[in-house]
Amino acid sequence: MIQLANPSERKRIRCAIYTRKSTEEGLDQDFNSLDAQRDACEAYVASQKSEGWTAMATRYDDGGFSGGTIERPALQQLLADIEAGKVDCVVVYKVDRLSRSLMDFAKLIATFEQHEVAFVSVTQRFDTTSSMGRLTLNVLLSFAQFEREIIGERIRDKLAAAKMKGKYVGGRPLLGYDVDHEHMRLVVNPEEAKLVQHVFERFVRLGSCLKVAQELNASGYRMKAWTSRKGRPMGGAEWNNVYVHHVLTNRRYLGETVHLGKNYPGEHEAIIDRQTWERAQTLLDTNRTYRASQTRRKTTAMLKGLVRCGHCGGAMHDTWTAGKGRLAKRYRYYVCNKGAKIGMDSCPVKSVPAGEIENAVFQHLRSVFRSPDVVARTVQAMQAQVEKEQDERRRERGALEKRLAELRKIIRNLVQVGGKTEGGALADELRRLNDEYAAAEGRLAGVDSQIAAGDELPGQDEVIGALRDIDPLWEDLFPAEQHRIARLLVEQVVMNPDGLTVRLRANGLRDLVAEVRAAAGAVEERMVEV
């Protein structure tokens, strides 16, 4: 409670009344649950009039918001007014009206204490300035959180039981079915069901998800379209190989439901017969096995993970093709992922021979080695980039320090409430907070290390000298070493229809200079020994 020195010095205590209801049911009535909570709180504040208490006219009402989160508009407005110094005391009807989460409640109490704001629950009166009051508060809140978790478990158990009985439990609308909301079940949509059957039939004939998607798009077919409860149009996207695969592997089309990897007979009617389903799955398994064996084949992809399509901005993956026969030559390519997914006609970049693009990158690096002007511009760009990264790291460092301070305060408050308890919700919360604190401390150490490394950038002359030393040796390096240096220096290669752009890695230049330094030092040591 807020304590005053004597009646003559008594000041006005501004009391903010906060109310909350989890659902919107009944809020349209003339006198609803929020009004009842406020009346009770106003009556309590009026009983403390002799102490200078007065109810603020501003209403902080959250109707239709769960107590499991603090992302509520009225609560956020209340916190903003507290930080602005407009509130001296927060009054609620019950503790769980403010929060049902132990961690969120600890944060709120810490905020109240920071701004010297008292907290009162009308039906559970206690003093938050005393350890016993805080203990009582957290015990009540622990039961509120326990109740919320029990409700969640009941809902999950109910959904699991419904799935095992083959019932429809909601989710995104499924192509081939409409939803009978009155009886909560799937009903076959005849036109869409024909499209689903067509997808299976074409896949069994063509053996390719991509070819099926291209056929569907060319024929004007689209994915299922519907309108959300808020009236927004949803779905209706073009087909691609991923969507086709989702249709081919959805067991609902067999008239089944799936829960935790197990299949159960569904209440809805099947669209695909068992024989067609099995043929499609056998073909999918065959394709999957073939692709896996192709992936395991060793290929030299120097720029793997570095090449991006200049048209769509997406990644380009490495692949290869070969003629017939065991000794046939293999040809390597970098292929646009999006183009491979929806068809190469959609991408002007399509695919590029791996050897050509890798040789172009090599030549670019050689020009960097040999040209002081290029090196100067590269070093300047490197310094600008590193400075930008350093600014981001310093901001992250500040945020981490702030979070660590918050965690220390929350942990201290919880320990004051419960002491060194070894069990229960409070102990679990303390363990979780301590784990978060340790992770934040580890991240802070890593950021400090990155900041220290970023402050040790090599100078322009040093970079020019290191690259000049490498250039004469380039042709004598093994391909693996050339690839290693290239990946060390190159951050990204953007492939456009009319050429490519190479962006160098700032840290790569620094690491390369460090390697040259170490190699020079080793040579000097050997010369001294001789």
User: Looking only at Cα atoms, what is the longest distance across the chain?
Assistant: 103
Residue 389's alpha-carbon distances to 264, 385, 487, 503, in angstroms, are 53, 6, 20, 16
Helix (H) or strand (E) holding 482: helix 479-489
The token duo for 120 is 């009162």
Number of helices (H), then strands (E), in the chain: 16, 17
**Is 101 in the active site?**
no
* Catalytic position from the list 8, 22, 101, 121: 22
Contact at 8 Å (CB) between 159 and 170?
A: no
According to DSSP, residue 254 is labeled: G
CA distance 19 to 137: 18
Contact at 8 Å (CB) between 194 and 203?
A: no
DSSP per-residue letters across 19-38: EEESS-TTTTSSS-HHHHHH
Q: Pairing between strand 53-55 and 13-21?
A: parallel
The token duo for 465 is 């000298």
Residue 475's alpha-carbon distances to 369, 403, 482, 512, in angstroms, are 13, 52, 9, 17
CA distance 489 to 470: 13
**Which residues, other chains included, contact 240 with Cβ-Cβ below 8 Å and sequence gap of 6+?**
210, 213, 341, 342
Contact at 8 Å (CB) between 187 and 177?
A: yes
Q: Pairing between strand 60-63 and 13-21?
A: parallel
Helix (H) or strand (E) holding 11: none
Residues comprising the chain, all counted = 530
The token duo for 433 is 């907070």
Nearest to 192 by CA among 233, 241, 253: 253
Active site residues per annotation? 22
